[in-house]
Amino acid sequence: MSNHGPTTKAQGIQTSSEILSQPGCWNDSLRALHESGKLAELARRFSGIEEWTFVGCGSSYYVAMCAASTMAEFTGLRARAVPASELLLFPLQLPAGNKTLVVLISRSGRTSEVLRVAEQLAERGITSLGISCAPDQALEKLVTSAIVLPAADEQSTVMTRSFTSMLLALQALAAATGKRTDFGIAQKNAAASAGTLLHTLPKRVQEFVRGYSFDDYVFLGQGALYGIACESALKLTEMSLSYAQSFHTLEFRHGPKSIVSAATLIGFLLSQTAYQEELSLLREVKRLGGTTLVVANRVDADARAAADLLVELETDGLEAARVPLYLLPSQLLGLYTGVKKGLNPDVPRHLSRVVILDDSPSREETRHATL
């Protein structure tokens, strides 16, 4: 167990270690990519691409959401995220043309739906890029090009450092494609800030979990942070068997606001771009009696007064570089809530580390994991 945070019971010890390892893992993964020349090579190879489609399942689909947002921001190109199952069940949505690139995301490189999409793309001659954390797996062999991040692989069922590391790698690729040379320094700053944050954040989140009990959890984010909101809700569901939802921040007013109460934890991922609009909703929720978790880079007095648990990231540089940091509080929240319930977040109920589907209906694996 790292000395960066409080020790836990035996339950969740592996997940805790993997969460705390993220700053070092990010640095190792990004250094390997830059030193190998991989990012520059891929940026040159895909310089003629006009549309990017990011594909994944579970957590990997939420990586796709965040990566698509960054790609669109840095390049001005069309970029979208699609669940692998959508492309399989509704094949008319499959991209076409030699100006389209499909990015297939799978921690294990073995997720069945992602592999099936890769096979269809290969049959149609559509260019593809795979990203995973396990070397020499099926995905790497099926795609046109591959990024593999072995330092980010995990033993736990639930994705934590693999999520953030694959996201950082895809953001770095977006920066290379868009010739954003300032992004590398911003990513280094973000990793340093994460290391500082994780010295104190685990204890703060653990104390918060001990002091409160919630019936429901809601996470709100806009832009690239909407994917982080979705992943935050999934972490609570997987690790603690809690009911959690996610919404675009300002959409919360349009119906979901009815759930606000002291027994519902509402997590606000406050962006820099839309800070004032999101702050307005935060104040409204607080007036309605909601309990709030606020994650932001830096806040003013109004946000500080409206937060029951406030996490300030305090990192300088481009806003997109700090997107992965927003996930750290909810990873810890899921971990400690699960342990509080007497669960083992390392091996959540009904989940497997890899979803592998057998073609025979009688043998089909129906457990869902976050690969």
Place of tokens 């996490």: 311
In a domain, 312, yes or no: yes
Run of H or E residues at 353: none
d(CA 56, CA 63): 8
- Amino acid 79: pLDDT: 96
- Amino acid 352: pLDDT: 55
Q: Please state the φ and ψ torsions of residue 43, each to the nearest 5 degrees.
A: -60, -40
d(CA 296, CA 309): 11
DSSP, collapsed to helix, strand or coil, labels residue 302 as helix
Give the residue from 131, 148, 180 where a domain finishes: 180
DSSP, collapsed to helix, strand or coil, labels residue 313 as coil
Same domain, 95 and 162: yes
Q: How many CA atoms lie within 13 A of 331 on its CB side?
A: 28
Same domain, 173 and 210: no
Same domain, 85 and 162: yes
pLDDT means over runs of 10, the chain (371 residues): 46 95 97 95 95 97 98 97 94 80 96 95 93 96 97 94 98 97 96 97 98 97 98 97 97 97 97 98 98 98 98 96 98 97 87 56 40 57
Interaxial angle between packed helices 22-36 and 38-45, expressed in degrees from 0 to 180 and rounded to the nearest 10: 60
In a domain, 365, yes or no: no
- Amino acid 358: pLDDT: 66
Same domain, 204 and 168: no
The Cα angle at residue 87 between residues 125 and 369, in degrees rounded to 5 = 115
- Amino acid 351: pLDDT: 64
Place of tokens 């940091």: 325
In a domain, 26, yes or no: no
d(CA 61, CA 65): 6
- Amino acid 94: pLDDT: 80
Same domain, 96 and 147: yes
Residue 13: alpha-carbon gap to chain centroid: 21
Note whether 208 and 332 are within 8 A (CB): no
Long-range contacts of 346-349 (CB under 8 A, 24+ apart): 346/11, 346/12, 346/13, 346/14, 346/15, 346/155, 346/156, 346/157, 346/158, 347/156, 347/157, 348/157, 348/158, 348/238, 348/239, 348/241, 349/241
d(CA 244, CA 291): 14
**Parallel/antiparallel/unpaired status of strands 51-56 and 100-105:** parallel
d(CA 299, CA 319): 14
Same domain, 92 and 133: yes
d(CA 43, CA 33): 12
- Amino acid 3: pLDDT: 39
In a domain, 267, yes or no: yes
Number of structural domains in the chain: 2
In a domain, 362, yes or no: no
Dihedral in degrees, nearest 10, Cα atoms 330, 84, 23, 268 = -30
- Residue 99's domain comprises 37-180
Same domain, 172 and 211: no
In a domain, 142, yes or no: yes
Structure-token pair, residue 131: 């990203």
Instruction: Identify the CATH number of the domain in which residue 284 sits.
Output: 3.40.50.10490
Same domain, 175 and 205: no
